[in-house]
Structure 1
């Protein structure tokens, strides 16, 4: 089995090989003094030859990069060049040419360009050899190319849908940003409402405590009112409802009072009389006692 090698090829052989696979139709003077546009076209065609499906991904990458710039129209060429440089550098590194640099793309040198194109031609030879080895296997599946074409068409369709979706997303971006702002405002409003709700709950709790205290006072006042009503009822039962009865009662009390005073006066008079009598008896007793004492002395 042969292995990949990278000997430097003559310019005529390079021109023939590139034309045979459809990469480019060159002239000897093109390679004698290569331009940046020429090598960019050559490398782009080579990448399309080596990886037919890679072009769509490059478009996606370029589109994503342009989104990040303020004036994307001013940077289209630069981004396209940078993407090409990234792709061709990676491709050449994979086929053992690791010294590719940006100068080889924007200010190509004749000798360096021939070395790079020789590497590419060597890869083309190696690739064709391997494909020829696989051809018998491919021939066993005659519908392979048709199946591959269908898959490539579906992939292209999907890539187009992705691109359309990306474009639609970009068009809807202002509306999405506006909705994000509105959602942010709504969240802030909800947060403010939550704070107000907590404040209202605190106020409601304080009001409930005040209400409970007032209810307690009202209950106590009701109790006192009932108690006073009972006392008033008792007092009312003692109040004479008829003035005549009250007058008669007062007259009876006055008459009773007069009788009491008269009795008291009579009693005092009787006491005085008895006191006088007692004094007389006392004097008589003293005299008798003295007289008795004299008689005993005789």
Structure 2
């Protein structure tokens, strides 16, 4: 669908007014001078007189040049179309000129419809052109040509981008095909390995069951080992107790054996020796007791004499009065202290012995 083109300032400054009419865009109807200027800019040698006369042979060259520029076709392709049904016609040589002319008319009609002329192009516009229709046709084609030139850069840019995207799409498609082939091969490989995989799964299940059984067996063995350790510890405790009991029994046996009489004669000899030693000990104890009694008597005498001496020293008068008479001088404290007499020996000798009252 064609879009209205705003003419350049060199075309007289006419602005383009566009509105929709029957789904087509309108275009400005140019003056003959503007048309001539635009055609000259496109490389066509056209004058206003050519447009005013509207000669068919002159306009055919103008239409041909504009058609080649706008549709981007070559002159050979335009005059030698590929008409595949020509051989089927009778007297095909009669149509050698009519077929290119028909193709030219159809190409011009396509161009004018694209430029916004809904009525299109007819044979009359080529054979017997009209000045008004020619001006309309050329205005539409020039507007379309200007529009095409402005949009051509965008089109080329989009074409390059499209080619890049198409190349990327082709590359992605190739990669997709390669991946699809690889996926198919992988699926085939997996399908071929499926029996082996099922066998491995069954084996894994069996191994899992066996492992569970072995784990239970290991748990039982650990429990038995723990019980065995406890039994060994108890046996060691009993062994220690038995060793201690054996040592104690050995000590008791040794003590009993020590008390057991070996040789009766030697025992009698030892008993006789013990009895003799006992008698000696008794004699020694008797002598010791006698000496103890004598020592006690001497101690009492000395104590009493000491008291009498102290008393005489503190009492006025003669010492003989204190000691009990004239004969008392025969028994002095010095003699008593020297241990020459005892009370018993003094009485046996008839010497008076005076006791000091405390």
Larger proportion of helix = 1
Q: Which bracket does the TM-score occupy, shorter chain normalised?
A: 0.3 to 0.5
* Structure index of larger Rg: 2
